[in-house]
Amino acid sequence: MRMSTFSSRNTRETLDLGERLGRLLQPGDFVALVGDLGSGKTHFVQGIALGMGVPSDICVSSPSYTLLNEYAGRVPLYHFDLYRLHGDADILDLGFEEYFYGRGACVVEWADRLSSEMPEEHLLITFTHEGETVRNITFRPEGSRYLALLRDLFPVSGKNI
């Protein structure tokens, strides 16, 4: 398993990194975000949305109460927030797995709430606090698609991929 870690010093860098990833996402991609409250997950998703062509005047926010927001870009962006869920049974009851293998790209905050419903191939991104403004963002690809995606995201970067 290869990993890559990026140190973001501020919100702008987190948004920019998300935007770079968003430009690379394709239909069927699954991005799993894990990290504490306030670690930068939603800012990262805002960047992904920009990179996927979601208009900048659309407010991209965490769907904490609705659980899913859909955004129209060059491919649909399915933005999940599973904070309020407690496991696979909740996911199955809501039918979210249909989105996981659908025509858009899924970005799931609090993806650690998934276990057996997590697609076998995915990109796991972990956010950790490294001070008041600094965040370490670690990418772990599961599957050849996501290893290739990381190579495109961090070309010749020496960031441990």
Return the DSSP state at 90: H
Mapping DSSP to helix (H, G, I), strand (E, B) and coil, where does residue 148 land? Answer: helix
Whether the CA torsion 63, 69, 74, 75 is positive or negative: it is positive
Question: Whole domain around residue 33: which residue ranges?
Answer: 4-152
Residue with tokens 């997950």, as numbered in its chain: 41
d(CA 98, CA 43): 25
Q: Determine, yes or no, domain membership for 132.
A: yes
CATH number of the domain that 36 lies in? 3.40.50.300
Q: Determine, yes or no, domain membership for 86.
A: yes
pLDDT at 161: 41
* Total of domains in the chain: 1
Distance of CA 145 to the CA centre of its chain: 15
- List, in sequence order, every beta strand (DSSP E) within the chain: 4-8, 30-35, 68-71, 77-81, 105-109, 122-129, 135-142
Return the DSSP state at 60: -
Q: Determine, yes or no, domain membership for 160.
A: no
- pLDDT tens digits, residue range 57-101? 998 988 766 788 999 999 999 998 888 776 666 666 676 777 777
Q: What is the mean pLDDT of residues 132-155?
A: 93
Q: Determine, yes or no, domain membership for 27.
A: yes
The token duo for 105 is 């790209």
Q: Determine, yes or no, domain membership for 16.
A: yes
- pLDDT tens digits, residue range 42-53? 999 999 999 999
The predicted model scores a pTM of 0.89
Residue predicted with more confidence, 136 or 113: 136
Q: Determine, yes or no, domain membership for 142.
A: yes
